[in-house]
């Protein structure tokens, strides 16, 4: 008798009448439709690992957040391709403007200073280095080096780009012309 009343009650509530949509797991991932945000993809379900693919893999409403294959990017204010290591890196699936995947910027306000800056020996101390002489690659050059290799005579401090051309049989201003202003 109690079983009969229970069955009648279920029928009155809609159970057993075909009024309910069957809840199943079409992709076989262990998550029933309703809880699974994509029951056609076995790799997409609550608790799944989020990867960079433009899909909400873990069904939390966010796409590609904390993806395991995201790349760490640093703020790169000067656009030189090196980020400020003092900034907190963030994991991104795609690069953004103003970000760099490499830290170690020497000075994030100067794009001419990177860990790949080439310094040229400046034997005469005129702040113009010898392109054919010793070179050092570093953020900041050691004493006796210049950040350019533009000197055409590193043995004469008065000879460098921008120097005044004198009538002396030399190319004082490193423009490949001798005494051009002094006929």
The alpha-carbon radius of gyration of the chain (Å, integer) is: 35
Inter-CA distances, 160 with 28, 76, 78, 79, 173, Å: 75, 34, 29, 30, 5
pLDDT digits (tens, 9 = 90+) for 40-53: 888 889 999 999 99
The model's pTM is: 0.63
Quick: pLDDT tens for 82-139: 999 999 999 999 999 999 999 999 999 999 999 999 999 999 999 999 999 999 999 9
Q: Taking the domains of the chain in order of start, what are their residue ranges? A: 31-67, 70-104, 117-183
N residues, the chain = 183
- Tell the residue number behind the tokens 């590193």, with chain if given: 154
Q: Are 29 and 45 in contact (CB under 8 A)?
A: yes
Q: Has residue 169 got a pLDDT over 60?
A: yes
The mean of the pLDDT values for the chain is: 87
């Amino acid at each position: 008798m109690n079983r009969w009343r229970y069955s009648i009650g279920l029928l009155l509530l809609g159970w057993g009448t075909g009024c309910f949509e069957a809840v199943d797991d079409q992709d076989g991932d262990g998550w029933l439709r309703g809880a699974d945000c994509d029951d056609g993809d076995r790799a997409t379900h609550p608790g799944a690992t989020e990867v960079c693919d433009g899909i909400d893999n873990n069904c939390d409403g966010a796409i590609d957040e904390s993806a395991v294959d995201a790349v760490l990017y640093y703020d790169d204010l000067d656009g030189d391709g090196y980020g400020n290591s003092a900034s907190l890196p963030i994991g991104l699936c795609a690069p953004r403007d103003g970000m760099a995947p490499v830290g170690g910027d020497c000075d994030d306000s100067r794009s001419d200073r990177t860990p790949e800056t080439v310094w040229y020996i400046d034997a005469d101390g005129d702040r113009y280095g010898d392109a054919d002489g010793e070179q050092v690659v570093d953020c900041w050059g050691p004493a006796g080096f210049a950040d350019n290799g533009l000197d055409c005579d590193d043995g004469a401090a008065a000879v460098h780009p921008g120097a005044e051309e004198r009538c002396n049989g030399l190319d004082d201003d490193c423009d490949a012309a001798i005494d051009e202003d002094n006929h």
